[in-house]
A and B are shown apart, each in its own frame.
Chain A
Amino acid sequence: MENWKNSARTFWTVIVPPTFWLVTFFIIPLSLIWLYSFSSKTGVVDITLDWNLQQYMRALEPLYLGIFWKSIWMAAATTAICLVVSFPVAIAIVFSKPTMRMWLLLLVILPFWTNLLIRTYALIAVLRTNGFINSGLEWIVTHADWALSFIGLGDNTIIGPFTPLQLLYNNTAVIFGLVYVSLPFMVLPLYAALDRLDRSYLEASLDLGAGHTRTFFTIVVPLALPGIASGIVITFIPAMGSYLTPDLLGGTDSYMIANVIASQFKQANNWPFGAALSFLLMYATFFALALRAVLMRKEGRGDKR
């Protein structure tokens, strides 16, 4: 790396265009809503910047705190499920033969390249009242009833009639959808961490008398901690701020924070309040990132007690 002064002209030509774009079309818009978050709504379209904190105070009302809390625990539940599912998947990929490993990785990454909206839509088709799951269940129930009719227990005496399960438009559906779209986010960092792990550590642990489960918890988990932390954070952050999944799969009580922000900017037309909520969401994001940085630095130092 060289000092920029050594070739100042090249440096400036190269650095100016991207910086201009970032500042004009990203930093300024963000600053704008940052200013809005300290403003008051004085009319239908009039907003005055008077540096007050009333928007933030309003965000602390139980209604909005509840929504924040809900966003956090839904994201946390999503992250936890992803972690539990991804660990065995990542282990299987790491310990596969090279060609198999390439294919499995490709299969895990491929959904990334599929539109989020389309993937969510595909889930609607699976979960809705006459979707795949309910139709499958109906088929099983009616056929079971039909089979039972041979021993005189038909006509819904034991099972049925089939009532479709309400799988859509509730919190479970939202978490299901979030897991569905976030899973690759968790598998990849775990895979990377496990791939870096020297196998002789596992062998040494087995050799010293630990079983597979103990080896997993005493050796694999501590050594893969940076990867686990990465996976948790990069799954948690998008899940917490997700808009589309709760919007399409959730019911009226599944609003997450992003949906509230959107409604403040669209239907409710209260930009200052929406701006304040946006910044609270961003601060939460930064907090999660900082936490990860701390965790990873701690790991880098080694576990000293």
Chain B
Amino acid sequence: MSLFRRNPDPIGPLDYARRFWLRAIVTLTLFFLYAPILGLIAFSFNDSRRNVVWRGFTTDYYVKFFNNEGLMIAFGNSLTIALMTTVVSTILGALTAYVLWRYRFPGKAVYEGGMALPIVIPEICMGVAMMVFFARIGWPTGLPWPFNLGSITIAHIAFAFPFAAIVIRARLENFNRELAECARDLGANEYRVFRDIVVPHMKPGLIAGALLAFTLSLDDFVITFFTAGPETVTFPVKIYSMVRFSVTPEVNAASTVLILLTLVVTTIALWLQNRNNMIGKSAH
């Protein structure tokens, strides 16, 4: 308890966050969530192939990772797919959000339900559906890069854009419609209102949506696993095939790189969003 004695205020009846046993549970939970990941990162620098005992610091496995052609190709594929998915999903997501936010139309509830389907149905169902679909329509295989990534990208967009739509719509919901009316009143036409008033307001939502689409695409394994032909391998699929065989420091290194990548992207997005909010606040 002495650890927590810094705070001189007596603990009130509702100061649950300062109760010892609650703190203990939170600490244990965070340990449970983070210890495996931190262990994985730490042991990507361990100078030993097999053991879990620390044998000294090395970056050998990162060198090996960057020299592993198969892994690097898979990494490049994943990034390419993620970038394409991000661009298309953000656009489609923004359009969906805009329609649902702005218009009343017959069958809207059904339409919204349909848009939520890719989010709620189990990944495996979507994975096999995409697999059957591309097999059935005779999607060409053996295309040159990057066209061989087409089917995966299409599948990724199909599940990522409804997520982006939700994020963007949430942002639109707190748009003050009087601002648009005011712009119309001052002489802007519909397009100018959209460009000058609505889009700037949507921007944090667009960034958040784009980021979500990017990480969803980069992280997806199940749907990719079923959609991918034998000759197109993404990073998670490659790691999966390596993991199936054994735990090796190269996989640790590769995983660490992917974790770092998502971490950087997330941080940038959070920072952008924060900055945007700040600008928004100071403008009011």
Residues of A near any B CB (own CB < 8 A): 1-4, 7, 10-11, 14-15, 17-19, 21-22, 25-30, 32-33, 36, 85, 88-89, 91-97, 100, 104, 107-108, 110-111, 113-119, 121-126, 128, 130-132, 135, 180, 183, 199, 202-203, 206, 212, 237-238, 240-241, 243-244, 248, 258, 261-262, 265, 271, 274-275, 278-279, 281-282, 285, 289
B233 on interface, CB distance cutoff 8 Å: no
Partner of A122, one of B36, B51, B124: B36
Apart from A26-B129, A278-B124, A278-B128, list 7 A-B contacts with CB within 8 A: A7-B190, A17-B91, A28-B133, A32-B129, A107-B33, A113-B215, A115-B221
Q: Which residue of chain A lies nearest to B263 when distances are taken between CB atoms in the complex?
A: A113
B155 on interface, CB distance cutoff 8 Å: yes
- Most A C-beta atoms less than 10 A away, residue of B21, B52, B127, B244: B52
A-B contact pairs, 28 of them (CB 8 A): A10-B190, A14-B99, A15-B99, A21-B157, A25-B133, A29-B132, A30-B117, A30-B126, A92-B26, A111-B33, A111-B34, A111-B37, A113-B262, A114-B259, A117-B219, A118-B239, A118-B255, A123-B36, A126-B39, A183-B33, A199-B14, A248-B243, A258-B124, A261-B128, A262-B124, A278-B124, A281-B124, A282-B122
Q: How far is the CA of A33 from the CA of B121 in the complex (A)?
A: 14
Indicate if the CB atoms of B52 and A130 lie closer than 8 Å.
Answer: yes
Interface string of B82-104 (1 = CB under 8 A from A): 00000000011101101101111
Q: How far is the CA of A107 from the CA of B197 in the complex (A)?
A: 35
Indicate if the CB atoms of A258 and B122 lie closer than 8 Å.
Answer: yes
Q: How far is the CA of A32 from the CA of B103 in the complex (A)?
A: 31
Indicate if the CB atoms of A3 and B104 lie closer than 8 Å.
Answer: yes
Given contacts A18-B95, A21-B158, A22-B114, whether A4 and B104 have CB atoms under 8 Å apart is: yes
Interface size grouping (class) on chain B? 35 or more
Q: How far is the CA of A114 from the CA of B262 in the complex (A)?
A: 7
Partner of B53, one of A10, A117, A126, A135: A135
Q: How far is the CA of A11 from the CA of B251 in the complex (A)?
A: 49
Indicate if the CB atoms of A88 and B263 lie closer than 8 Å.
Answer: no
Q: Inside 8 A of B121's CB, which chain A residues have their CB?
A: 30, 282, 285
Shortest B178–chain A CB gap in Å is 14
